Structure formats: structure tokens, C-alpha cells
């Protein structure tokens, strides 16, 4: 926040990073902490307390770009966590 209590771009990025980590952790729980296990987005979203599918897809795209999820279908309805994704989720 700036000196006037307004959100800055850094706050937005921090919020996105926090949500992305929450999604990654939720997916890791759904995958029983094992890479290569398919998870379903509806269950991950529920576990991560998310309700906006567009926001979830944007976060999933980010996670895939980082190499933390793979084998996703077009709308990220199903995907797997990579070994790096599992490691990142527990950090």
C-alpha cells in the first residue's frame, strides 16, 4: 500500500503470488504429495477457497509457465504437479 492506503502494483503481485502458492498447496494435497498424480480443478479450487474459474485458469497458466504443473487440458480442468511443483508447494 502507498502512503494513502491505496493498493500498489507490488500489492497486486504479492496477492497473486499468495493465491498461486495456495493453489499449488491445494493441488499437492489433492495429489497426496506425489508428482504425476492427476488432480481436478474443482477440488483444488474448493480446497484453495477459490470461486472464480477465470482467476484459477490465470493462476494455473502461471504455475505451468513456472514448470510446477504439467499435462493440463485446455481449461486446466485436470492437470498434474511436477516434482518441482511439489517441492515448491511445501516451501
CATH for 59: 1.10.10.10
3-state secondary structure of 56: helix
Distance (Å, whole) CA 31 – CA 69 = 12
Asked if the structure places residue 2 within a domain, the reply is no
Q: For the beta carbon of residue 8, count every other beta carbon within 10 angstroms.
A: 10
Look at residue 74 and tell me if it is in a domain. yes
29 contacts 81 by C-beta, under 8 angstroms: no
The reply to whether 63 falls in a domain is yes
Total domain count for the chain?
A: 1
Q: What is the model's pTM?
A: 0.82
Q: Does residue 3 lie within any of the structural domains? A: no
pLDDT tens, position by position, 57-77 = 999 999 999 999 999 999 999
21: containing domain:
9-90
Distance of CA 83 to the CA centre of its chain: 15
- What pLDDT, on a 0 to 100 scale, did the predictor assign at position 14? 55
Domain membership flag for residue 42: yes
Amino acid at each position: 500500500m502507498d502512503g494513502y492506503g491505496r493498493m500498489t502494483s507490488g500489492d497486486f503481485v504479492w496477492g497473486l503470488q499468495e493465491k498461486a502458492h495456495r493453489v499449488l498447496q491445494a493441488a499437492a494435497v489433492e495429489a497426496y504429495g506425489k508428482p504425476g498424480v492427476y488432480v481436478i480443478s474443482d477440488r483444488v479450487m474448493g480446497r484453495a477457497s477459490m470461486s472464480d474459474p477465470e482467476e484459477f485458469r490465470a493462476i494455473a497458466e502461471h504455475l505451468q509457465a513456472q514448470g510446477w504443473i504439467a499435462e493440463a487440458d485446455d481449461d486446466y480442468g485436470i492437470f498434474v504437479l511436477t516434482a518441482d511443483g511439489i517441492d515448491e508447494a511445501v516451501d
